[in-house]
């Protein structure tokens, strides 16, 4: 599978839908794409694993195959075949994962991202937004930007064979 994952205005394209984070010097899986929604496949759903902790390093949400297996009872979950979300009682989004169509109006109309998608089609375009902790790193992503702790990452296009990772050295793919 080849995924394009949008994090703010950044797009990371690769064959591995895994996002790892450095915790105590070791890389741990934080997010994993298991399946994508396929238009022509009956019963098809976007399926992910995700493990989010809060500022106090307590588990806020853990999804296994898109189903909550650990979460505060006040967390609201929503999902359909192309979207998964977890929301705090105050209405703030913990995480939202959406599978976008190639012609989604929020994707760039021109430039390197559009050219890359045209020249090298992907199996799925996913967008991740929300405000959460990945290990010790505070991550805040909206449709326009991604902020990891105090560093803002915008407008990047990266292509690789592995997944994405956040370490003390920064964000990479």
Asked if 46 and 81 count as a contact pair (C-beta separation under 8 A), the reply is: yes
Higher local confidence (pLDDT), 161 or 68? 68
| Residues in the chain, total | 173
Q: What residues does 157 pair with on adjacent strands? A: 11
Structure tokens, 140: 């805040």
Alpha helices in the chain (DSSP H): 112-119
**Model confidence over 17-49: pLDDT tens digits?**
788 888 888 888 889 999 999 887 777 899 999
Asked if 136 and 126 count as a contact pair (C-beta separation under 8 A), the reply is: no
**Model confidence over 61-111: pLDDT tens digits?**
899 999 989 888 889 999 999 999 999 999 999 999 999 988 888 888 888
Residue with tokens 């976008």: 100
- The strand pair at 151-153 and 10-14 is best described as unpaired
Asked if 94 and 52 count as a contact pair (C-beta separation under 8 A), the reply is: yes
Residues 171 and 152: their CA atoms lie apart, in Å, by 10
pLDDT at 55: 65
Handedness of CA 5, 55, 151, 165 (dihedral sign): negative
DSSP string, 81-128: TTEEEEE-TTS-EEEEEEEEPTT-TTS-SSSHHHHHHHHS--SEEEEE
Higher local confidence (pLDDT), 171 or 151? 151
Torsion-angle region of 133 (φ positive above 0: left; ψ -120 to 50: alpha; else: beta): beta
Specify the DSSP class assigned to residue 142.
-
What confidence category does residue 146 fall into, taking pLDDT thresholds of 50, 70 and 90? very high
């Amino acid at each position: 599978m080849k995924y394009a994952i949008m994090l703010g205005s950044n797009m990371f394209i690769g064959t591995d839908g895994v996002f790892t984070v450095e915790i105590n010097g070791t890389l741990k899986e934080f997010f994993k794409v298991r399946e994508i929604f396929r238009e022509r496949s009956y019963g098809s759903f976007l399926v992910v694993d995700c493990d989010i902790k809060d500022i106090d390093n307590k588990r806020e949400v853990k999804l296994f195959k898109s189903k909550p297996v650990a979460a505060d009872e006040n967390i609201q979950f929503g999902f359909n075949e192309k979207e998964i979300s977890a929301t705090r009682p105050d209405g703030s989004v913990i995480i939202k994962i959406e599978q976008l169509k190639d012609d989604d109006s929020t994707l760039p109309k021109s430039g390197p991202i559009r050219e890359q998608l045209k020249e090298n089609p992907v199996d799925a375009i996913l967008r991740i937004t929300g405000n959460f902790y990945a290990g010790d790193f505070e991550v805040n992503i909206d449709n326009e930007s991604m902020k990891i702790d105090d560093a803002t990452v915008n407008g990047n296009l990266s292509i690789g064979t592995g997944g994405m990772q956040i370490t003390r050295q920064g964000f990479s793919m």
